[in-house]
């Protein structure tokens, strides 16, 4: 089936981005908003986004004109009567969506495919509310829509044969990669991504580490394109909170309980980029804190000590028998080592994440001077410092391993293949590697052991290693079997 004329209802950030994607692919678009004011905002989104591409030399002035010329903006839903496809991107309230789809069902020709860009609401319920349930599907884009290369194509038990293939073909035509999924709340990406982002908010709320440090750990240490708080601000804290609410409503898992901090920020109207302030003040980055080293002598213990001593040596810091600073490398609770030392206040844990990040771990007995000196020393080595508390997994492993475990559980549930999950997270969220690729790179045993430690400390059932992961480790296999 050919999609030559496409309607987009709702021209907020996502809707305007989706309209741009279609227009860029040479498809005529009718953008619909509720009133003239909202329409003007939608036009503003389109003009700004294509204007930026023009400024960067990614579009010529003629191409930009052609793209904008393909988009007709209107407040009359009736203008969608002969569209081949209509995509809805209005607020995430099921009643609004059902009312809109009932209306579209009345207005549009019988062949029109109706698609929702919902993040987590049930596509099946929306489809069943129309007289054409077999032609109602999900088409889920990612923010920023013109940039992220994934589209989740969501089918229901009511979807007619061949439609998902046609819509997938359309996604390729748009320059996107489709991943076909079933109608499960959050689909692949939001079901994996949002609990991880929420987990970061929980760590922040519990004071395990600070906002910028958690973001730095995940961006510079793990290699994700954005830290969790920057990404929450991009997605919108209200959207994130709603998705968590839907997930929790379905699973009743504490892993899905929205962080109270999220609720508080949403209540305060601090929704992220769209309101100018969320976790971050959007006006600019907070000033970096300068760490200074005041170290006269240092000793290093634990796995990898020799390498760190060599690096310190090269930077002019000599190991000493009477150290004022004791660095404990490794992943076990640092306090267990500190209490065996003559002066536990001088003991700091160091956990290196990737090539560029050092988590600097203070126990309840570490003095602030010691923590500051250790941080300064790591800075001298060219590492980004992430000060944090002595909690299982510290920051990066706690967030990442739990996230990867969720992916294993999702696969084991039969909802999505390893390839679908890896592709979705790489293209939907810009991950450098999919969760299974990351798991195999880090080592299944290391992740499994890390999860065991997390579970032992927090007693959170979802931190217990997925049985499939446990079994692969027990079998001595280094990778997940692909079908």
Residues carrying an active site annotation = 119, 140, 152, 190
Rounded (5°) CA angle 96-243-115: 50
Dist CA 223 CA 278 (whole Å): 23
**236 φψ region: left (φ > 0), alpha (ψ -120 to 50), beta (else):** left
Give the interface with ligand 3HC as residue ranges (CB under 6 A).
49, 52-53, 56, 58, 119, 142-144, 146-148, 190, 193, 225-226, 231, 235, 239, 428-430
Tokens of 228: 């969790």
- Min. distance of Cβ 404 from ligand 3HC in angstroms? 16
Q: What is residue 332's three-state secondary structure?
A: coil
Which residues are CB-neighbours of 8 under 8 A, at least 6 positions away? 15, 18, 19, 22, 29, 30, 31, 32, 86, 87, 89
- Min. distance of Cβ 47 from ligand 3HC in angstroms? 12
- Min. distance of Cβ 371 from ligand 3HC in angstroms? 31
- Min. distance of Cβ 263 from ligand 3HC in angstroms? 17
Of 19 and 308, which CB lies nearer to ligand 3HC in the complex structure?
19
- DSSP letter (8 states) at residue 166: H
Q: Is the dihedral of CA 400, 404, 405, 407 positive or negative?
A: positive
Dist CA 149 CA 425 (whole Å): 10
Closest CA to 138 of 160, 112, 162, 164: 164
Q: How many CA atoms lie within 13 A of 228 on its CB side?
A: 29
Of 139 and 388, which CB lies nearer to ligand 3HC in the complex structure?
139
Dist CA 477 CA 462 (whole Å): 23
- Min. distance of Cβ 251 from ligand 3HC in angstroms? 18
């Amino acid at each position: 089936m050919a999609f030559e004329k496409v309607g987009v209802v709702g021209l907020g950030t996502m809707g305007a981005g989706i309209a741009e994607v279609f227009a860029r692919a040479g498809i005529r678009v009718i953008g619909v908003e509720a009133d003239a004011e909202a329409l003007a905002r939608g036009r503003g989104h389109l003009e700004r986004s294509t204007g930026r591409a023009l400024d960067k030399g990614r579009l010529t002035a003629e191409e930009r004109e052609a793209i904008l010329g393909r988009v007709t903006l209107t407040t009359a839903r009736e203008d969608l009567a002969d569209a081949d496809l209509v995509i809805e991107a209005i607020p995430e309230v099921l009643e609004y969506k059902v009312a809109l789809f009932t209306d579209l069902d009345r207005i549009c020709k019988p062949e029109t495919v109706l698609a929702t860009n919902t993040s987590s609401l049930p596509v099946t319920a929306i489809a069943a509310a129309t007289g054409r349930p077999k032609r109602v599907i999900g088409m889920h884009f990612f923010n920023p829509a013109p940039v992220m290369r994934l589209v989740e194509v969501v089918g229901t038990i009511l979807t007619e044969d061949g439609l998902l293939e046609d819509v997938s073909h359309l996604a390729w035509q748009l320059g996107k990669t489709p991943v076909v999924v079933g109608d499960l709340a959050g689909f692949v990406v939001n079901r994996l991504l949002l609990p991880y982002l929420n987990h970061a908010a929980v760590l922040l709320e519990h004071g395990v580490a600070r906002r910028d440090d958690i973001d730095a750990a995940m961006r510079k240490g793990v290699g994700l394109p954005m830290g969790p708080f920057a990404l929450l601000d991009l997605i919108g804290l209200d959207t994130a909170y709603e998705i968590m609410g839907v997930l929790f409503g379905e699973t009743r898992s504490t892993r899905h309980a929205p962080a109270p901090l999220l609720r508080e920020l949403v209540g305060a109207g601090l929704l992220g980029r769209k309101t100018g302030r969320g976790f971050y003040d959007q006006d600019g980055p907070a000033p970096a804190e300068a760490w200074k080293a005041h170290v006269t002598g240092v000793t290093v213990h634990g796995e990898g000590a020799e390498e760190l001593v060599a690096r310190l040596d090269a930077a002019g810091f000599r190991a000493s028998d009477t150290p004022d600073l004791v660095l404990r490398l490794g992943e076990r609770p640092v306090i267990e080592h500190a209490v065996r030392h003559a002066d536990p206040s001088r003991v700091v844990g160091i956990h290196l994440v990737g090539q560029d990040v050092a988590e600097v771990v203070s126990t309840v007995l570490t003095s602030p001077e010691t923590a500051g000196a250790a941080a300064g020393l790591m800075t001298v080595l060219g590492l980004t410092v992430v000060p944090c508390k002595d909690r299982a997994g510290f920051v990066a492993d706690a967030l990442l391993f739990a996230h990867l475990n969720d992916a294993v559980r999702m696969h084991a549930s039969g909802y999505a293949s390893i390839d679908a999950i890896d592709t979705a997270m790489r293209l939907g969220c810009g991950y450098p590697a999919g969760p299974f690729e990351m798991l195999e790179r880090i080592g299944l045993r290391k992740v499994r052991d890390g999860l065991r430690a997390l579970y032992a400390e927090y007693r959170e059932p979802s931190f217990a290693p997925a049985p499939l992961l446990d079994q692969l480790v027990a079998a001595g296999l280094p990778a997940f079997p692909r079908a």
